[in-house]
C-alpha cells in the first residue's frame, strides 16, 4: 500500500518542515477524527513526550479532533505504552502519541493506537491519509468536541506497571541507576522502582524541552555507566525518549541489549510454565539469540524490522513474547505494545526469584559479533537496482561462507541505509561492513 505520510511508526519529521507543521498536524487530527467518528461519538486520548514542540502539536491535534466532533483527554507527558494503556482504560476510540521516540528535540511525530491499545491497521491509516486530502469542514457548534485533562494519569500508570509482577516481589537491597533520557518516563520510572523498594539514582530526569535523548537514555549509555561504576550500583536501566524501548547494564557497566533481555524473559517464562508458543524477533535479531532459544527448545521466527511487524507476527502465531535488538520488547500477557518499564520489571522479577545477577541471567546466550553502519542518503534509493551494492553484498556473503548474515535496509524513520553484517569472526565482519557501506555511499551519490 503506497503511503505519503505514514511511515513504519506513524508520521514523523523535522519540526516546521512538512509533514510536521502546525497546519498539517491539525489536519491529521481532523482527518483521524472524521475516520474514527464513524465508530460513533467518543474520546481520543493524547499523550506526549517532553520535547518543546509537543505543546504546539498537542493544541493542533486537539483543535482538529474537536472540529471533527470528538472529545479529547489530555494526559500531558506520558510514555507511549502508557497512552496505549489509558486508551483502553478510558474506553477511548483511539490514542495519539506526540513523539519522535529516540530522535533529537528538533524532530517530532504522531502515532496512533486503536481502542484496544494496538497500532492502527494499514486500512485505517490509509483511510486517514485519504481524508487528509479532503477539505476541512467543522461539525455544527453543538457537536464540537471538548477537551479535559486527566490529572491522575501518572499514578494510575505507576500502579499498572507495578501490577505486571507478583505482589510479593520486592526490589529491596537493589541499587539501580535509572536513566530516563530527559523523556516521557522522567516522572514515572523512578517512582515505580522506588515504590518496589529499590534505591534509585536518577539520570536524565530533568527535561527542559530541548535535551530529550541528548547524551542520555538507551542510545547513550556512557553517563549511566559512569554513574553505575561510581556508585557501585547493581545495575542501570535506560529508556528512550518515549519509553517504549530500554537497555540494561550490569554492575560492571556491560550493556545488555534487547536480544539478551528477550532471552532472559523468554527463558524465565519457559521455566515457570508461562511461555505461550515461541519468540518473535526481527531481521536484525542476533544469531546468538536464535541459537540460544533453539537450545532451550523454544521456537523462533523473524519479522520485518519494526515493532508493528513483530506484533503482527505474534498475533498471527498466537504467541506472546517478541522484540528487537534495539530494546523494543513486547509481552502480550502484560501489555498491548512495547513497554520499557514493564519489560525491565519482567527481568527484575526473574533476578529476584532466582537470586542471580543480570550477567548470570544471560548465561546460555552468546552474541555474534554484529556491525551496524548507518549510511546517510539524500533521497530514497532502490538498493536492488544498484549493481555495485549487490556485488559487494554477494562478495561478503561468499567470504562469510554460511557463518554469518548480511542485511541492508532503508530506515523507516530517518534518511539512512542501515548496513548490518554479522558473523563469527569480528575482524572479518567489520571489514565487510565497511566495504558494503562504502559501496552504498558511492552508489547513492551518483
> What integer is the mean pLDDT of 95-102?
97
Q: Under a CB-based contact definition with an 8 Å cutoff, are residues 350 and 321 in contact?
A: no
Using CA atoms, how far apart are residues 436 and 31, in angstroms rounded to an integer? 42
pLDDT surpasses 70 at 107: yes
Q: How far is CA 203 from the centre of its chain?
A: 20
Using CA atoms, how far apart are residues 131 and 406, in angstroms rounded to an integer? 40
**Helix 340-354 with 258-271: angle, nearest 10 deg:** 50
pLDDT surpasses 90 at 94: yes
The predicted pLDDT at position 444 comes to: 83
User: Could you tell me the CA-to-CA distances from 254 to 94, 221, 230 in Å, in that order?
Assistant: 39, 10, 14
The predicted pLDDT at position 306 comes to: 86
- All domains of the chain in start order, with CATH: 11-151 (3.40.120.10), 157-254 (3.40.120.10), 256-361 (3.40.120.10), 370-444 (3.30.310.50)
User: Could you tell me the CA-to-CA distances from 80 to 22, 46, 143, 222, 310 in Å, in that order?
Assistant: 21, 10, 29, 25, 17
Closest CA to 293 of 314, 323, 262: 262
pLDDT surpasses 80 at 105: yes
**Helix 122-132 with 22-36: angle, nearest 10 deg:** 120
Q: Which residues are catalytic?
A: 101
Q: Under a CB-based contact definition with an 8 Å cutoff, are residues 117 and 95 in contact?
A: yes
**438's grid cell:** 562504502
Q: Under a CB-based contact definition with an 8 Å cutoff, are residues 106 and 10 in contact?
A: no
Using CA atoms, how far apart are residues 234 and 172, in angstroms rounded to an integer? 12
Using CA atoms, how far apart are residues 368 and 260, in angstroms rounded to an integer? 12
The predicted pLDDT at position 170 comes to: 98
Read off the pLDDT band of 402 (50, 70, 90): confident
The predicted pLDDT at position 190 comes to: 98
Read off the pLDDT band of 135 (50, 70, 90): very high
The predicted pLDDT at position 9 comes to: 85
pLDDT surpasses 90 at 197: yes
Cross-sheet strand order for the sheet of 329-331:
300-303, 279-282, 321-323, 329-331
pLDDT surpasses 70 at 1: no
pLDDT in tens, 345-386: 999 999 999 999 999 999 999 999 999 999 999 888 888 888
The predicted pLDDT at position 2 comes to: 65
What percentage of the chain reaches a pLDDT higher than 90? 89
Closest CA to 44 of 7, 103, 94: 94
The predicted pLDDT at position 305 comes to: 86
Read off the pLDDT band of 321 (50, 70, 90): very high
Q: Under a CB-based contact definition with an 8 Å cutoff, are residues 71 and 84 in contact?
A: no
pLDDT surpasses 60 at 217: yes
Phi-psi region of 21 (alpha: psi -120 to 50; beta: other; left: phi over 0): beta
Half-sphere exposure of 143 (CA within 13 A, CB side): 12
3-state secondary structure of 59: helix
**313's grid cell:** 507476527
Using CA atoms, how far apart are residues 386 and 377, in angstroms rounded to an integer? 14
The predicted pLDDT at position 357 comes to: 97
C-alpha angle 67-88-29 in degrees, rounded to nearest 5: 20
**406's grid cell:** 548480511
pLDDT in tens, 36-63: 988 777 899 999 999 999 999 999 999 9
**444's grid cell:** 547513492
Question: What pTM did the predictor assign?
Answer: 0.91
> Which residue carries 491529521 as its cell?
28
Lowest-confidence pick of 90-94, 106-110, 399-403, 442-446: 442-446
Longest dimension (CA), the chain: 70
Amino acid at each position: 500500500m503506497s503511503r505519503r505520510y505514514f511511515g513504519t511508526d506513524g508520521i514523523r519529521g523535522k519540526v516546521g518542515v512538512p509533514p510536521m507543521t502546525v497546519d498539517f498536524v491539525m489536519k491529521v487530527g481532523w482527518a483521524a477524527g472524521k475516520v474514527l467518528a464513524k465508530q460513533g461519538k467518543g474520546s481520543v486520548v493524547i499523550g506526549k513526550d517532553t520535547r518543546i514542540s509537543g505543546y504546539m502539536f498537542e493544541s493542533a491535534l486537539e483543535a482538529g479532533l474537536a472540529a471533527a466532533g470528538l472529545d479529547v483527554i489530555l494526559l500531558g507527558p506520558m510514555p507511549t505504552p502508557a497512552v496505549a494503556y489509558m486508551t483502553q482504560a478510558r474506553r477511548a476510540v483511539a490514542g495519539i502519541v506526540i513523539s519522535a521516540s529516540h530522535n533529537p528535540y528538533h524532530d517530532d511525530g504522531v502515532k496512533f493506537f486503536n481502542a484496544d491499545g494496538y497500532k492502527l491497521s494499514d486500512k485505517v491509516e490509509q483511510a486517514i491519509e485519504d481524508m487528509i486530502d479532503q477539505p476541512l469542514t467543522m461539525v455544527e457548534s453543538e457537536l464540537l468536541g471538548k477537551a479535559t485533562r486527566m490529572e491522575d494519569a501518572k499514578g494510575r500508570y505507576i500502579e499498572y506497571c507495578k501490577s505486571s509482577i507478583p505482589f510479593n516481589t520486592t526490589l529491596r537491597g537493589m541499587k539501580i541507576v535509572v536513566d530516563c533520557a530527559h523523556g516521557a518516563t522522567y516522572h514515572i520510572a523512578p517512582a515505580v522502582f522506588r515504590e518496589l523498594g529499590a534505591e534509585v539514582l536518577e539520570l536524565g530526569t530533568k527535561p527542559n524541552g530541548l535535551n530529550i535523548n541528548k547524551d542520555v537514555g538507551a542510545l547513550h549509555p556512557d553517563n549511566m555507566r559512569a554513574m553505575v561504576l561510581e556508585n557501585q550500583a547493581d545495575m542501570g536501566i535506560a529508556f528512550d525518549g518515549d519509553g517504549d524501548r530500554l537497555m540494561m547494564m550490569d554492575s560492571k557497566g556491560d550493556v545488555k541489549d534487547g536480544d539478551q533481555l528477550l532471552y532472559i524473559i523468554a527463558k524465565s517464562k519457559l521455566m515457570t510454565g508461562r511461555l505461550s508458543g515461541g519468540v518473535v524477533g526481527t531481521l536484525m535479531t542476533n544469531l546468538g539469540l536464535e541459537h540460544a532459544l533453539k537450545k532451550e527448545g523454544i521456537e523462533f521466527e523473524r519479522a520485518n524490522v519494526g515493532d508493528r511487524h513483530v506484533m503482527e507476527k505474534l498475533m498471527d502465531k498466537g504467541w506472546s513474547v517478541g522484540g528487537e535488538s534495539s530494546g523494543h520488547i513486547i509481552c502480550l500477557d502484560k501489555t498491548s505494545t512495547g513497554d520499557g518499564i514493564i519489560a525491565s520489571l519482567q527481568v527484575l522479577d526473574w533476578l529476584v526469584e532466582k537470586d542471580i545477577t543480570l550477567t548470570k541471567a544471560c548465561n546460555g546466550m552468546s552474541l555474534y559479533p554484529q556491525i551496524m553502519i548507518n549510511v546517510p542518503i539524500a533521497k530514497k534509493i532502490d538498493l536492488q537496482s544498484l549493481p555495485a551494492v549487490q556485488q559487494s553484498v554477494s562478495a561478503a556473503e561468499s567470504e562469510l561462507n554460511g557463518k554469518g548474515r548480511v542485511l541492508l535496509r532503508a530506515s523507516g524513520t530517518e534518511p539512512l541505509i542501515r548496513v548490518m553484517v554479522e558473523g563469527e569472526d569480528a575482524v572479518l565482519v567489520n571489514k565487510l561492513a565497511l566495504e558494503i557501506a562504502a559501496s552504498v555511499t558511492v552508489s547513492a551519490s551518483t
